[in-house]
Amino acid sequence: MDFILDFFRGPDGITLLSVYQSALRVCLPLLALFVVVRSARSLLGFRREPEVWAWLRLATGELLPVTHWENLLGRKKSADIVLDFATVSKNHAVLTRQNDGSWMITDIGGKGKVEVNGNQVLSGTVDYGETISLAGLEMVLEPVSKEEARLQANSRTKAGKGNSPGLTLLLLTIFQLLVGLELVFNRAEDRMTIVTAFGILLGTEWVLFIGQKLLKRSGFEVETIAFFLITIGLGVCASANAGELYKQLIAMGVGIVLFLALGFCLRDFETVKKLRYAAAAVGILLFAANLVLGRSINGSRNWIFIGGFSFQPSELVKICFILAGTATMDRIVTRRNLLAFVLYTAFIGGCLVVLNDFGAAAIFFVGFLSIALLRSSSYPSWILVLVGVGMLAVLVLAAVLAIKHFPHVADRFSGYGHVWEHPFDNKGYQQTRSLMCIAAGGLFGLGLGNGWMQYMAGAGASDTDLVFAYVCEEWGLLMGVMMIFALAMLGLFVVRSSKVARSSLYTIGAAAAMSILMVQAILNVFGTVDFLPLTGVTFPFVSNGGSSMMSCWGLMAFLKACDTRQNASFAVKLSTQGGERQ
């Protein structure tokens, strides 16, 4: 290692190294652009043709395609299978595909009976060739032919087509090696820690990639974007406090295990239904423990310390919240299920208000709105609108009371929009320093480890709440924009995938998870540059924080499950022939 350093320093000790670092500041954003664009092209370039899993043949001979694993049957135009007959209710029944390829019909409160071969059922199996009757309207369930299944499988977009995930990961690896090398130059006192940390990062991502290849999974774009953001986060951590690198890597490892475990659980609807109740209970227990054991940091009592470790329960509750809010079609339309979720959301919001964590409260509120919006198409939407307005009113009232009774909250809101009038007090100190550092970094940055953000913005905040300014100063504004662009591409992927997702569970889960990640990024960036009040929210994968890292990986599992490309997601079981089950 000393030989490499001496070589770059050159005979005069500085010339070659300066040239190398100047070139590197231009190369890093270019490599980052290649990584993100290649991942985005692969994620967004799939076809959105609906898949046909079975047919319903009416007495007239008309064939109605069954295009999802869960299908709402009814007269309502938003139903998956529209039955425009006077006797059929707007939301009459749900036809669900089971893990073994069989089908189940469930009565969800239609006015007429649901029958299979003349026998009334509330919830029962349906075999191919059997007759389903909804309030007297008869139809026969028929399978797709082998030729139809073959053509459909061949037409489905293959993950990474034209943008090999392996080549993209190789480009990311080169990016990571260059980042690690510059940090070694500029942080010689932490050389071995940095080399070890980046070696662990490289080994982890390649083991995960090869493992998925062995499982015949070809999609790795979601993980690549996550590792790209983590690389920036580790670079910030190495510059600000290299001693935190191992903690971040441990959190990354735990997060990946959570990502894989959730992904495999999402393969089985029955498992997820059971897991929802356990997740809701865990969320309640975590907040109960937070209320009793929580310690206050920067005004918010949202930390629990155990030995030498600390974590934020609200980060892990995000995963529990989405699991509790997701629902299969037979549960979406039930009043009991909807009421339980509203009460659960109200409990979480109340706990966050008591803990004085309004940033997290805003994130959960947006998560609730995204879930409510997707569920409202099968239930009177005005109920959810009223609940949302009521929760927003309570949140605003709580914020007003917090501004009145908590000085640090009052400072953040009173300084918002005119921080330059208060550059030396709590109302504007952090944002003014952040804006100066962003301006100092320019397009290409001052170089990793060469910034002043860690000394100017207040202890503990520069690599967490204000990490966007840290990145812009040392890595350049282009890299800061690239972070946002990477998350935006994931958001577009979820929007495109949701329209053809095989289950409402996948659609709701992915949309809610992406809403939470995007709102976190918006609050973090806009708070840093004074477009919004500073809320102390982390930037996904980049901000230093183990709880946030684990939470972000858990949320990624929902995005992975929404991927409908051929053999892309491990949330879909493969047949014995190695292709996705038909």
Query: What letter does residue 452 receive in the DSSP assignment?
Result: S
pLDDT for 571 equals 64
pLDDT reading at 388 higher than 60: no
User: Do strands 70-74 and 81-82 pair parallel, antiparallel, or not at all (unpaired)?
Assistant: parallel
CA distance 516 to 552: 9
Residue 435's nearest CA partner among 410, 460, 414, 415 is 415
pLDDT, averaged across the chain: 82
pLDDT reading at 582 higher than 50: no
pLDDT for 515 equals 93
| Cβ atoms of 437 and 456 closer than 8 Å | yes
Count of beta carbons in the 10 Å neighbourhood of residue 17: 18
Percent of the chain beyond pLDDT 90?
Answer: 32
Count of beta carbons in the 10 Å neighbourhood of residue 59: 10
SS3 sequence of 86-108: CCCCCCCEEEEECCCCCEEEEEC
pLDDT for 208 equals 95
Q: What is the mean pLDDT of residues 374-400?
A: 55
- At position 64, the amino acid (one-letter code) is L
pLDDT reading at 81 higher than 50: yes
Q: What is the pTM of this model?
A: 0.88
Query: What letter does residue 379 receive in the DSSP assignment?
Result: S
pLDDT for 38 equals 93
Q: Tens digits of per-residue pLDDT, 9-42?
A: 555 555 566 766 778 888 899 999 999 999 999 8
Q: Tens digits of per-residue pLDDT, 168-182?
A: 999 999 999 999 988
List the beta bridge partners of residue 97.
Answer: 103
Longest dimension (CA), the chain: 92
pLDDT reading at 580 higher than 80: no
SS3 sequence of 300-368: EEEEEEECCEEECHHHHHHHHHHHHHCCCHHHHCCHHHHHHHHHHHHHHHHHHHHCCCHHHHHHHHHHH
Q: What are the angstrom distances between the C-alpha of 109 and each of 160, 244, 259, 332, 394?
A: 43, 55, 36, 12, 33
pLDDT for 221 equals 92
Question: In the structure encoding, which two tokens stand for residue 320, read together?
Answer: 């529990």
- Higher per-residue confidence, 390 vs 158: 158
What stretch of H or E contains 439?
Answer: helix 429-441
pLDDT for 519 equals 92
pLDDT for 58 equals 92
| Cβ atoms of 168 and 153 closer than 8 Å | no
Question: In the structure encoding, which two tokens stand for residue 515, read together?
Answer: 């809403």
CA dihedral 314, 315, 317, 323 (to 10 degrees): 150
Residue 41's nearest CA partner among 466, 489, 436, 400 is 489
All structural domains of the chain, each given as residue ranges with its CATH number in brackets, are 54-145 (2.60.200.20), 165-561 (no CATH)
| 157 phi/psi in degrees, rounded to 5 | -65, 130
Q: Tens digits of per-residue pLDDT, 245-295?
A: 999 999 999 999 999 999 888 877 777 877 888 888 998 998 888 888 877
pLDDT for 576 equals 44
| 11 phi/psi in degrees, rounded to 5 | -65, -30
Which residue is associated with the tokens 């804006």?
435
Q: Tens digits of per-residue pLDDT, 193-209?
A: 999 999 999 999 999 99
Q: What are the angstrom distances between the C-alpha of 210 and each of 226, 257, 536?
A: 17, 16, 37
CA distance 274 to 294: 29
pLDDT for 145 equals 85
Question: In the structure encoding, which two tokens stand for residue 384, read together?
Answer: 């959810």
SS3 sequence of 510-566: HHHHHHHHHHHHHHHHHHHCCCCCCCCCCCCCCCCCHHHHHHHHHHHHHHHHCCCCE
User: Do strands 81-82 and 295-297 pair parallel, antiparallel, or not at all (unpaired)?
Assistant: unpaired
- Give the rounded distance of the alpha carbon of 566 from its chain centre: 21
CA distance 29 to 41: 18
pLDDT for 389 equals 56
Residue 50's nearest CA partner among 492, 428, 423, 500 is 500
| Cβ atoms of 434 and 528 closer than 8 Å | yes
Question: What percent of the chain is helix, strand and coil (3-state, nearest 5)?
Answer: 60, 10, 30
Counting beta carbons within 10 angstroms of the beta carbon of residue 556, is it exposed (0 to 12), middle (13 to 18) or buried (19 or more)?
buried
CA distance 198 to 177: 8
pLDDT reading at 138 higher than 80: yes
Question: In the structure encoding, which two tokens stand for residue 109, read together?
Answer: 């409160």
